[in-house]
Amino acid sequence: MKIFQIINGHVNELLGINAELSEYRIENACKKCKVSHDKDGVFQNRCLKYRGGCGCRLPAATALKKKKCPRDVWYDNTINLDQLKKLKI
């Protein structure tokens, strides 16, 4: 992710911009995805790089309207259930 996207994501998170969209993505995709869970199965609130993710903090990454899940699980307000099934915890 580019630096301005990282900054935008954190500003959005801080100001509550796209908060509903962010919550929707996290609750319906990220919390069910093994990429955000460590090896003990604990949710880390981050798309973990060592698990094949982008390394981003989820509250910031999901608050960017045009960001796409690095593993194609979500985009806009759409969840790709087939893709999520492959990564499900």
Which residues are near ligand SF4 by CB under 6 A? 29-30, 33, 35-36, 47, 53, 69-71, 73, 87
Report how far residue 88's alpha carbon sits from residue 68's, in angstroms, rounded to the nearest whole number: 18
Report how far residue 7's alpha carbon sits from residue 52's, in angstroms, rounded to the nearest whole number: 22
**In the complex, minimum distance from the CB of residue 66 to ligand SF4, in angstroms, rounded to a whole number:** 14
**In the complex, minimum distance from the CB of residue 87 to ligand SF4, in angstroms, rounded to a whole number:** 6
Give 22 or 36: the residue with its C-beta nearer to ligand SF4.
36
For residues 76 and 26, the answer to whether their CB atoms sit within 8 Å is: no
